Amino acid sequence: MIGFGQIRHTRLRPAANAFAYPGYFLRLPLRALAAQPQSAGWLTLNGRGVFAVNDGDHGDGRPLLAWVDDLLRSEGVRDADGEVWLHTFPRVLGYVFNPVSFWFAHRADGSLRAIVCEVNNTFGERHCYLLAHRDGRPLAYGEALEARKVFHVSPFCRIEGRYRFRFMLSRPEGPSAQRWVGRIDHDDNEGPLLMTSVSGDLEPLTGRAVLRALAGYPAFTFGVIARIHWQALRLWLKRVPFISKPEPPAQHVTR
């Protein structure tokens, strides 16, 4: 599946700053692709295609499904044996930077067991936030989920407070949903600080959809990193305090 939509970001203080820009994302069924990799169609898996997703873009470089299955098992989630949907940006013309990718791990009965939020910063570091109920009950789309912030992303935000997550599908009963929305808000010790979202209308990943993405957003993946630095410059010009990068957390996964 491919989603065409919008990325939004709003900072509330100490200086207001907001932006929104159009874009697209992929939503890939990893077990289905592992069983029949040729079904990826116009998407190249582990290759040099114009539109590609590679194992090295995520996790520790191992095959995507093996990595996320091992991560879940190591955290005590041993019943996510259904489909795993990866929400991510593709590699376009050999380049990609994913500020955050989402892995939606289901049970065999289709219920959503866990979500892995894989965060990258511009310093080449990566951390995962695991969202799962410790009593094993499934997650619900639209449910408010939280995680303590432990990983440095922006030099204009301290490592304190919590993230609030909400994920919504127009048809939460299956992958034929027409609309996907993901929200991540950050509250620091003073209260709400950042409000962000990624949303899009989903459609099959056909050749026509890929051509629409390439023609309509020809430099999209390059633009992601360019916009990150442009917004950082805006915050610096607004005299938002700059925070030096600390050491990354010792643990790779935070629950």
Based on the number of CB atoms within 10 Å of its own CB, is 123 exposed (0-12), middle (13-18) or buried (19 or more)? Answer: exposed
> How confident is the model at residue 117, as a pLDDT?
97
Residue 250 lies in a domain: no
The amino acid occupying position 73 is R
Residue 93 maps to a domain = yes
Q: Counting Cβ atoms within 10 Å, is residue 204 exposed (0-12), middle (13-18) or buried (19+)?
A: exposed
Q: Per the domain annotation, does 251 fall within a domain?
A: no
DSSP of 205-243: --HHHHHHHHHHSTTHHHHHHHHHHHHHHHHHHTTPPP-
Q: 132 is in which domain, residue-wise?
A: 2-242
Domain count, the chain: 1
Q: Indicate if the pLDDT at residue 171 is higher than 70.
A: no
User: What's the pLDDT at 91?
Assistant: 92
Residue 7 lies in a domain: yes
Q: Is residue 150 part of a domain?
A: yes
- Mean predicted confidence (pLDDT) in 197-207: 92
Which pLDDT band holds residue 38 (cuts at 50, 70, 90)?
A: low
- 24 within a domain of the structure (yes/no): yes
Residue 249 lies in a domain: no
Task: Give pLDDT, residue 37.
Answer: 65
pLDDT value of residue 122: 93
Q: How far apart are CA 15 and CA 156, in angstroms?
A: 11
Does residue 253 belong to any structural domain of this protein? no
Poorest-pLDDT segment among 172-181, 208-217, 242-251 = 172-181
